[in-house]
Amino acid sequence: MAYQQTIGVRRYGFPDLRTLLARASPERSGDQLAGLAAASAEERMAARLALADVPLARFLDEALIPYERDAVTRLIVDGHDRAAFAPVAALTVGAFRDWLLLPSTDSACLAALAPGLTPEMVAAVSKLMRNQDLILVARKCRVVTAFRTTLGLPGRLAVRLQPNHPNDDERGILASTLDGLLYGAGDAVIGVNPASDSVATQVRLLERLDALRTRFDIPMQSCVLAHVTGTLEAIRLGAPVDLVFQSIAGTEAANASFGVTLALLDEAHAAARALGRGTVGDNLMYFETGQGSALSADAHHGVDQQTCEARAYAVARRYRPLLVNTVVGFIGPEYLYDGKQIVRAGLEDHCCGKLLGVPMGCDICYTNHAEADQDDMDVLLTLLGAAGVNFIMGVPGADDVMLNYQSTSFHDALYLRELLGLKRAPEFEAWLARMGITDADGHLAAPAAQARLAGRLAQVLG
């Protein structure tokens, strides 16, 4: 056995790094479904003890998924920056956790290190970290991106306004959008999940949202979260495409199940950049991920779901994205069973993404067949606010009437701002004050003022 640990009279063996990582992973229904989880609580700790002694450099020599078989592995290996890795090159995984928690390991230090880390290294160290470690380390990471707003600055939190409608009705979508704007949300992106997969619908919605933007001079970016091929077509048709959206995963086969390759993403990235629509920055990719997607596509190669997820961030960072969103509880209880597993996964994803230099946000969410409720979402929301998450979702009343799941609401974002004193993206914050939606301190205006504003904004429903 390549990796071993003895506890009392019992000896645990793990044939390879992939197995060791899976057995060390916190309990998770998806890994159990895949048959990868530790068989006992003691075996899980044995794996963690063994993992703590593995040198970080070992991850450069032992690929979890063979280089020849997987484009994501090739991306990770070929893109590794050995010079950036140097400060931690001599550490074991356990010593790396200790190093991350040192006060001297600051934001600048972590930003410089990011290109030297692989997804497998950060997944490994996260398995040795408690929730408080995941929060503290993530908070030290700073990933700032910009398009028409600047996101990820210290002391700030942005919101993706998610105005979905079951039939893509334009008025319905605009009504939810105005609701969100009047609640001071939308600085990350106004992003619609379309019910229809038609490019015509995508173009129509993009035009309406862009008309709203120009009419009120809003520093915002819009996005219709259609497949990347649809967005490429929309660009060819001359639609006002700000951001390119795509769901991605951590293996080549899982990405193939989404209908994407790195070449296709390269093409879409280049096409959108050529439009030159950003004003304060040129980060324009918007990726969504989530633990369990590789297993769901039967494309996990025996790698645990949290490590697969971290590998998706290697795909994301190739494109210097504006937003990366882990949609943590959407996939269902066969992957993340309950509130405890969802909370842990959200913190892991956020911390691992940030360590890799990815602008992480989180769709803090659950479905009705998961053992979770709004109280669990409040816990994860508060913890991610403390951890410095770049953005969260804003769904009217937390109830997505198109996708049938519960996320966070405009009110939830206000709660977090109130609790932790978090400001909005500076450009958007200034616009809200200029419009009179908020006062100079960022608090929502009184109802009388809002009535006039709502009347003015509602003209776009025309």
Partner 1 sequence: MAADEPVPAGADPWLALARHTPARIALGRVGASLPSAEVLRFGLAHAQARDAVHRALDLAACAGALAAATGLPAQVVQSQAPDRATYLRRPDLGRRLAPAHAATLAMASPPPDLAVIVADGLSALAVEAHALPLLVRLRRALADLHWAPLVVAGQGRVALGDEIGERLGARLALILIGERPGLSSPDSLGAYLTYAPRPGRSDAERNCVSNIRPAGLDYPRAAHTLAWLVREALQRRVTGVALKDESALRLLDGAAAAPDAEAD
Of 105, 261, 374, 382, which lies in the binding site for partner 1, with binding defined by CB under 8 A? 374
Q: Which is nearer to partner 1, 7 or 430 (CB)?
A: 430
Q: What 8-state DSSP symbol labels residue 185? A: -
Residue 379 as a binder of partner 1 (CB under 8 A): the answer is no
Q: Which stretch binds partner 1 (CB under 8 A): 44-52, 66-74, 341-349, 368-376?
A: 368-376
CB of 402 to partner 1, least distance (A): 6
The answer to whether 363 is annotated as binding is yes
Of 402, 422, 431, 432, which lies in the binding site for partner 1, with binding defined by CB under 8 A? 402
Residue partners of 225: CB distance under 8 A and separation at least 6 = 191, 192, 193, 194, 245, 286, 288
The residues pairing with 362 across neighbouring beta strands, listed in sequence order, are 326, 392
Of 62, 81, 169, 217, which lies in the binding site for partner 1, with binding defined by CB under 8 A? 169
- Residue for token pair 């600055």: 153
What tokens does 448 get?
């009388």
Residue partners of 209: CB distance under 8 A and separation at least 6 = 177, 190, 192, 222
Region 381-400 residues binding partner 1, contact defined as CB under 8 A: 395-399
Residue type, 149: T
Q: Which is nearer to partner 1, 64 or 174 (CB)?
A: 174
Residue 229 as a binder of partner 1 (CB under 8 A): the answer is no
The answer to whether 341 is annotated as binding is no
The size of the interface with partner 1 (CB under 8 A), counted in residues, is: 63
* Alpha carbons within 13 A on the beta-carbon side of 446: 2
Of 147, 287, 337, 428, which lies in the binding site for partner 1, with binding defined by CB under 8 A? 337
User: Nearest to residue 341, comparing CAs of 367, 323, 315, 317?
Assistant: 367
- Per the CB < 8 A criterion, the answer to whether 328 and 290 are in contact is yes
Burial code of 26-38, b = ≥16 C-beta within 10 A, e = fewer? bebbbbebbebbb
Residue 417 as a binder of partner 1 (CB under 8 A): the answer is yes
CB of 258 to partner 1, least distance (A): 13
Residue type, 383: L
Cα 193 to Cα 203: distance, rounded to the nearest angstrom: 13
The answer to whether 402 is annotated as binding is yes
CB of 458 to partner 1, least distance (A): 6
CB of 369 to partner 1, least distance (A): 5
Residue type, 445: A
Q: Which is nearer to partner 1, 358 or 370 (CB)?
A: 370
Cα 306 to Cα 296: distance, rounded to the nearest angstrom: 13
Cα 324 to Cα 438: distance, rounded to the nearest angstrom: 28
Look at residue 29 and give its three-state secondary structure.
helix
Residue 431 as a binder of partner 1 (CB under 8 A): the answer is no
Cα 121 to Cα 310: distance, rounded to the nearest angstrom: 9
- Per the CB < 8 A criterion, the answer to whether 171 and 410 are in contact is no
Of 174, 224, 362, 380, which lies in the binding site for partner 1, with binding defined by CB under 8 A? 174
* Residue stretches of the annotated binding site for substrate: 160-162, 193, 288, 363
* Residue stretches of the annotated binding site for adenosylcob(III)alamin: 194, 246, 296, 402
Q: Where on the chain is the footprint of partner 1 (CB under 8 A)?
A: 29, 32-33, 163-167, 169, 171-176, 178-179, 182-183, 193, 195-196, 330, 332-334, 337, 367-369, 373-374, 395-399, 401-406, 409, 411, 414-415, 417-418, 438-439, 441, 443-448, 450-451, 454, 458, 461
* Residue stretches of the annotated binding site: 160-162, 193-194, 246, 288, 296, 363, 402
